[in-house]
């Protein structure tokens, strides 16, 4: 699946009320204008995937129920996330590799990129690697 075209996701409605709740939960300062808290790149990216992350992973043959581990996470902002806007997600499988693992014996490493875009173009990019124990091949 790596190297395929981006997979369309769902819509993420970034409301002022949602941003206010996120800010309250993490004791963040009040919003300045309409700029949303940057964590929405992560929250919105996962929420707007075409299916929940567990189902998405299982569909790729990963042992998600055995306990995934977040290996790496990067947020970048080619645009700005703003409250009062709807964003569409696109998901791209960057890499899926099986490697030896001290913890699991063998592990599957999944690298994903999730872009949230509105009519102005890409606003945020979530790139992360998730590691799961490898399922038995046979």
* pLDDT (0 to 100) of residue 101: 83
* pLDDT (0 to 100) of residue 109: 95
What is the percentage of the chain residues whose pLDDT exceeds 70?
95
Q: Is residue 20 part of a domain?
A: yes
Residue 7 in contact with residue 48, Cβ under 8 Å? Answer: no
Task: Say how many C-beta atoms besides its own lie within 10 A of residue 35's C-beta.
Answer: 12
Q: Is residue 1 part of a domain?
A: no
Q: Is residue 138 part of a domain?
A: no
Q: Which residues of 45-78 are buried (b: 16+ CB within 10 A; e: fewer)?
A: bbbbbeeebeebbeebebbbeeebeeeeeeeeee
Of the pLDDT bands very low, low, confident and very high (cuts 50, 70, 90), residue 135 is confident
Q: Is residue 43 part of a domain?
A: yes
Give residue 78's domain range. 7-133
Mean pLDDT of the chain: 93
Q: Would you say the C-alpha torsion 59, 65, 71, 72 has a positive or negative sign?
A: positive
Output the domain CATH number for residue 119: 3.10.129.10
Record the pTM: 0.90
Number of domains present in the structure of the chain: 1
Tell me the average pLDDT across 54-65.
Answer: 94
């Amino acid at each position: 699946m790596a190297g395929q075209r981006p997979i369309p996701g769902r819509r993420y409605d970034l409301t002022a009320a949602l941003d206010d709740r996120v800010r309250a939960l993490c004791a963040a300062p009040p919003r300045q204008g309409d700029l949303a808290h940057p964590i929405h790149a992560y929250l919105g990216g996962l929420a707007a995937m075409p299916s929940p992350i567990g189902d998405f992973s299982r569909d790729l043959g990963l042992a998600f129920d055995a306990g995934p581990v977040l290996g790496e996470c990067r947020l970048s902002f080619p645009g700005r996330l703003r409250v009062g806007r709807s964003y569409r997600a696109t998901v791209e499988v960057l890499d899926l590799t099986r490697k030896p693992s001290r913890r699991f014996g063998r592990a599957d490493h999944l690298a994903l990129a999730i872009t949230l875009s509105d009519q102005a173009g890409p606003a945020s990019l979530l790139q992360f690697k998730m590691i799961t124990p490898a399922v038995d091949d046979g």
